[in-house]
Amino acid sequence: MPLHTLIINRKASSQRNLWLTALVIGIILGIVFTISGLFFTRVSGTAKVTFIAISILLGLLSGGVIGWFGREVLRGIIALVSKELTNKVGLKADNFRSTKSGISKELDIFEQMFRMVMSVLKRVLIISLKLEAASSDLDKTAQTSSQVIKEIVDGVGAINKKAGDNATNLRETISSLENSFGLSKDISSKLIIAKEDSQAVSEIATGTQISVKEAVKKMLKIKELTDGSTTLVNDLNDRSKQIGTILTEIANIAEKTNLLALNAAIEAARAGEHGLGFAVVAEEVRKLARGSAESSKKINILINDILQKTENAAEMMQNNTIQVNEGMSVVNNVESSLGAMVNTTDQLNEIIKDISFSAERQSETSDIMYQKVNTISQITDEISLQIQNIATTALGKTVIIDQTSSSARELRTLSDVFQNALVPFDFHVEGATKRTAIRTETRVPCKFKVLLSGELIDTGFSSGDFSMRGIITNLSAGGCVIETSEDVEQGKYIIIAFQIGSNFIQGIQGRLVRLKAAVSTTEDNFGKARKLVRECIVSFNEISQEHEHIIVDFVMSSQKQFESNLGLLE
C-alpha cells in the first residue's frame, strides 16, 4: 500500500489527514533547512547539533503553521459547501449524501495537495542527488588540490633549500672574490717586480750575446792561424820526407863510390909502381865516400827525427783544429741560445705587460663582481623569505581545502541520510536506489581500525588488525553510521570489516566526517555502569564494485522486508 494512501485515509477525519500532511511537510522542511544550512554555512561541534535541533524545530513549527492555516481554510470550505448545499437543497434526507460528496471532494483536494508535495519531494531528492554528485566532485577536487598544494609546498621547500644553498654558495663566492681581489693586487705588484727583473735579464743576455760574438770572431782568427800552421807543418813534413829521400840516394851513391874506389885500389895494386898514384887517389876517394856515407846516415837520422816531430806537430795541429772547430760549434750554440734567450726575454716582457694589464682589469672586474654578487646575495635572501611566506600561505590553503573536503564528505553522507528518509515514498529517480539504506531495526556488527597517515595506501590488513568494535545502524554504498564505545576522533580515516549474510567485506576505507555522543544512562537494567556510546557518520573514500553490489543488494532486500513488515507493499 503506497504511503500517500496511508496518510490520506478517506475513512479518517479531515482534521487527521490535514495534520498528518502538515507534519510530513514540516519534517521535509526541517531536513531541507538542515542540509542547506550545513552546506552553505561552516559550523562545527556543539554548534552543529544546536543548528540541527533548531532546523528540526523550525520544520515542525512550519508544519504546525501550515496545519493551522489549513484547518481555517478547511473550515471555510466546509462552511461554504454547507451553505451552498443548504440553499440549493435544504434540510432534506439526502443532505448526508451531499455532505459525503463534499467530504470526498475535500479528500480529493488533499490528495492533490499531497501529490504536489510528493512532486516537490521528488524534486528535492533529485537536487539531493545532484548535491551528492557535486559534493563527490568537490571532495575529489579538494583532495586533488590538496595533493597539488602539498606537492607545491614540497617543491617550494626544495626551492627554498636550493635558494638557501645558493645563498651559502654566494657568500662563499663573495669570500672567494675578496680573496681573489687581494690575490689580484698581490699578483699585480709581483708582476711589476718580474717585469723589472725580466728587463734586467734581457739586458744581461744582450751584453753576453755581444761578448760571445766577439769571442766567436777571435775564435775564427785562431782557427785561421791554426789552419795556416797546420798547412806549414804539413809542408815541412813533406819537405823532410823529400830530404830523407835525397839523403838515401846520397848514401847509395857514397856506397857505390866506395866500391869503385876499392876496385880502383885493387887495380892499382896490380899495376905496381905505375898504379901507385892512382891507388893513393882511390884511397882518398874511398875515405871521402865513407865519410859522405856516415854524414848521410847522421843527416838521415836527424831528418827522421825532424820528420817524427813534424808529424807529431801536424797531428797536434789537427787536434787543435778539431778543438777549435768544436769550440766554434759550442760558441755558435751559445750565441744561438743567447739569441733565443733574448727573444724569449723580449716575449716574456710582452707577456708580463699583458698579464699586468689583465691583472689590473681583473682587479677592477673583481671589485665590480663583488658588489654585484653582494647585491644578488641580498636579493636571494629576500626571495628565500618570500618563498617561506608562500609555503606558509600554501599550508594555510591546504588546511582550508582539507576542511572543504571534510565538509563535502559530510554533505555527501547527509545526502545519503536524506535519501534514506525518502525511501518509503517509493520514488523512481535514477541513482536514488543506489543510496537506499537499512533501517535502524537492522544492526550489523563490524570491526574497524583507525589508520595512520602512512597506512592510507596500505591494504594488507588481516582480521587481527581490527581492534575496535561497533554496530552499523545505517548502511549505504556511500557511507554508514556506526555506534561504538571506542575512543575515536572526528576527521580520522578508518578501515572497516563486517559480514553481510555469507559475504565477508573487509578493506573499505572511510573517514569520520561527524562524531556525535549518543545519550545513554549511567546504569543499565542490571545496575551496571554503561559506557558512553558514540555515533560515527562515516563517508566511504574507496569501495570496489563487488562490495558496492553486495551492499546495494543487501540494502534493497532489507528495505523490501522492512516495508513488507509495515504493510507498505501492495
Q: What's 562's domain CATH number? A: 2.40.10.220
Q: Please tell me the predicted confidence (pLDDT) of residue 2.
A: 46
Q: What is the mean pLDDT of the chain?
A: 68
Among 354, 370, 386, which residue terminates a domain?
A: 370
Asked if residue 450 and residue 307 are part of one domain, the reply reads no
Q: Please tell me the predicted confidence (pLDDT) of residue 91.
A: 43
Q: Quick check: 53 pLDDT over 70? A: no
Asked if residue 447 and residue 366 are part of one domain, the reply reads no
Among 314, 345, 370, which residue terminates a domain?
A: 370
Establish if 83 belongs to a structural domain.
Answer: no
Q: Quick check: 243 pLDDT over 70? A: yes
Highest mean pLDDT among 138-142, 185-189, 327-331, 421-425: 327-331
As beta bridge partners, residue 481 has: 474, 537
Instruction: Report the alpha-carbon distance of residue 36 to residue 53 in Å, rounded.
Output: 14
Number of domains into which the chain is organized = 2
Establish if 259 belongs to a structural domain.
Answer: yes
Asked if residue 363 and residue 219 are part of one domain, the reply reads yes
Establish if 483 belongs to a structural domain.
Answer: yes
Asked if residue 312 and residue 207 are part of one domain, the reply reads yes
User: Which of 69-73, 293-297, 394-398, 460-464 is least confident?
Assistant: 69-73
Instruction: Report the alpha-carbon distance of residue 411 to residue 134 in Å, rounded.
Output: 10
pLDDT (tens digit, 9 = 90+) per residue, 77-117? 445 444 444 444 444 444 444 544 555 555 565 556 556 66
Asked if residue 476 and residue 339 are part of one domain, the reply reads no
Supply the DSSP symbol for 483.
E
Establish if 113 belongs to a structural domain.
Answer: no
Q: Please tell me the predicted confidence (pLDDT) of residue 242.
A: 77
Cell numbers given for 469: 568494535
Establish if 234 belongs to a structural domain.
Answer: yes
Do 349 and 198 form a contact (C-beta atoms < 8 A)? yes
Cell numbers given for 110: 488533499
Q: Please tell me the predicted confidence (pLDDT) of residue 490.
A: 83
319-325 mean pLDDT: 76
Residue at 493: amino acid letter = Y
Q: Please tell me the predicted confidence (pLDDT) of residue 317.
A: 72
Q: Kindly report the CATH number assigned to the domain that includes residue 297.
A: 1.10.287.950
179-186 mean pLDDT: 65
Q: Which residue has the higher pLDDT, 50 or 324?
A: 324
Establish if 168 belongs to a structural domain.
Answer: no
User: Which of 37-51, 153-167, 358-372 is least confident?
Assistant: 37-51
Q: Which residue has the higher pLDDT, 431 or 187?
A: 187
Asked if residue 209 and residue 291 are part of one domain, the reply reads yes
Establish if 242 belongs to a structural domain.
Answer: yes
Q: Please tell me the predicted confidence (pLDDT) of residue 471.
A: 92
Within 10 Å of residue 318's Cβ, how many Cβ atoms?
A: 14
Q: Which range of residues forms the domain containing residue 286?
A: 182-370
Cell numbers given for 201: 735579464
Highest mean pLDDT among 187-201, 210-224, 232-246, 496-510: 496-510
Q: Please tell me the predicted confidence (pLDDT) of residue 489.
A: 84
Asked if residue 440 and residue 366 are part of one domain, the reply reads no
Q: Three-state SS string across 488-528, please? A: CCCCCEEEEEEEECCEEEEEEEEEEEEEEECCCCCECCCCC
Instruction: Report the alpha-carbon distance of residue 7 to residue 2 in Å, rounded.
Output: 9
Instruction: Report the alpha-carbon distance of residue 334 to residue 326 in Å, rounded.
Output: 12
Residues across the chain? 570
Asked if residue 355 and residue 450 are part of one domain, the reply reads no
Asked if residue 235 and residue 328 are part of one domain, the reply reads yes
User: Which of 94-98, 314-318, 554-558 is least confident?
Assistant: 94-98
Among 353, 370, 387, which residue terminates a domain?
A: 370
Instruction: Report the alpha-carbon distance of residue 231 to residue 228 in Å, rounded.
Output: 5
Instruction: Report the alpha-carbon distance of residue 517 to residue 536 in Å, rounded.
Output: 9
Q: Please tell me the predicted confidence (pLDDT) of residue 95.
A: 47
Which band of pLDDT confidence, cut at 50, 70 and 90, is reported for residue 6? very low
Place of cell 557535486: 134
Q: Which residue has the higher pLDDT, 56 or 320?
A: 320
User: Which of 84-93, 249-258, 513-522 is least confident?
Assistant: 84-93
Q: Please tell me the predicted confidence (pLDDT) of residue 96.
A: 43
Gyration radius of the chain's alpha carbons: 68
Q: Quick check: 444 pLDDT over 80? A: yes
Asked if residue 229 and residue 353 are part of one domain, the reply reads yes
Q: Which residue has the higher pLDDT, 388 or 333?
A: 333
Which band of pLDDT confidence, cut at 50, 70 and 90, is reported for residue 193? confident
Instruction: Report the alpha-carbon distance of residue 310 to residue 324 in Å, rounded.
Output: 20
Establish if 427 belongs to a structural domain.
Answer: no
Asked if residue 485 and residue 356 are part of one domain, the reply reads no
Q: Please tell me the predicted confidence (pLDDT) of residue 438.
A: 38
Q: Which residue has the higher pLDDT, 15 or 310?
A: 310
User: Which of 24-33, 133-142, 435-444, 506-515 is least confident?
Assistant: 435-444
User: Which of 162-166, 230-234, 261-265, 310-314 is least confident?
Assistant: 162-166
Q: Quick check: 484 pLDDT over 80? A: yes
Which band of pLDDT confidence, cut at 50, 70 and 90, is reported for residue 158? low
Percent of the chain with pLDDT over 90: 2
Instruction: Report the alpha-carbon distance of residue 118 to residue 429 in Å, rounded.
Output: 13
Asked if residue 198 and residue 325 are part of one domain, the reply reads yes
482-498 mean pLDDT: 87
As beta bridge partners, residue 496 has: 448, 508
